[in-house]
Amino acid sequence: TQLLEQSPQFLSIQEGENLTVYCNSSSVFSSLQWYRQEPGEGPVLLVTVVTGGEVKKLKRLTFQFGDARKDSSLHITAAQPGDTGLYLCAGAGNYGQNFVFGPGTRLSVLP
């Protein structure tokens, strides 16, 4: 069974600070996606990474896929209160038909 772990579980920071959250597994994934979910809503896709070592930037967000395609990180520069939410990573296995989701990192950015 493929499992994804995310750390930290909770993170509370001040506006303007930088942060990194992690998504780790002992399994290899063919691709990995990051989502942000706000209370009462469904997850919204932020990025998909496919190639080992790949780095993608989305404004103040930088996503990296590990060389071995077992882990990923999300770095946010100069966090803003609007970044508050639950950040979920999800991996697609090499043979599976479904995505495996991590438990999420709950980020709170205080003004």
Partner 1 sequence: NAGVMQNPRHLVRRRGQEARLRCSPMKGHSHVYWYRQLPEEGLKFMVYLQKENIIDESGMPKERFSAEFPKEGPSILRIQQVVRGDSAAYFCASSPQGIGGNQPQHFGDGTRLSIL
Among 11, 92, 107, 109, binds partner 1 (CB under 8 A): 92
**Segment contacting partner 1 by CB under 8 A, of 11-19, 44-52, 53-61, 75-83:** 44-52
Asked if 33 touches partner 1 (CB under 8 A), the answer is yes
Among 12, 44, 60, 81, binds partner 1 (CB under 8 A): 44
Cβ atoms < 10 Å from Cβ of 102: 24
Q: Using CB under 8 A as the criterion, what x/- string covers residues 45-84 for binding partner 1?
A: x--x-x----------------------------------
Size of the residue set binding partner 1 (CB under 8 A): 26
> Which of 107, 87, 109, 78 minimizes the C-alpha distance to 4?
87
Helix (H, G, I), strand (E, B) or coil at 82: helix
Among 78, 80, 96, 110, binds partner 1 (CB under 8 A): 96
**22, 71 contact by CB (below 8 A):** yes
Amino acid identity of 76? I
Phi, psi of 82 (to 5 degrees): -70, -10
Q: Alpha-carbon distance 73 to 64, whole Å?
A: 5
Residues that bind partner 1 (CB under 8 A): 6, 30-31, 33, 35, 40-45, 48, 50, 88, 90, 92, 96-104, 106
